[in-house]
Amino acid sequence: MGNAPIAGRIAAAACGIAAAATWAFVDPDLSGKYLGPVSIFAGFAALALLIIGLRGKSELLPFAVAGLALTVTGLVISLVRQTGFAPPVAAVTRAPLAVNYGMVHITRPVDGGFSPTCTTVTGTAIPPGTGSLWLVAGGVVHELTPGDDGTWRAPVRIGADDPRDADREYDIRVYWVPGGSRPPAIPPQGRILAEITVVKDPAKLACASPEPTNANTPG
Please report the pLDDT score of residue 100 as a whole number.
Answer: 57
pLDDT score at 12: 64
Predicted confidence at residue 43, as pLDDT, reads: 72
What does the pLDDT read at residue 33?
60
For the whole model, what pTM was predicted? 0.51
pLDDT confidence of residue 8:
64
CATH of 102-200, one of 3.40.50.150, 2.60.120.10, 2.60.40.10, 1.20.1260.10: 2.60.40.10
Question: Which residues of the chain are under the pLDDT cut of 50?
Answer: 1-4, 84-99, 210-211, 213-215, 218-219
Contacts of 92 (CB under 8 A, 6+ apart): 28
Coil vs helix vs strand at 115? strand
Q: Residue ranges of the alpha helices (H) in the chain?
A: 6-26, 28-54, 61-83, 89-96
Q: In whole angstroms, give the CA distance from residue 131 to residue 135.
A: 14
Of 145, 199, 203, whose CA–CA distance to 172 is shortest?
Answer: 199
pLDDT at 54: 76
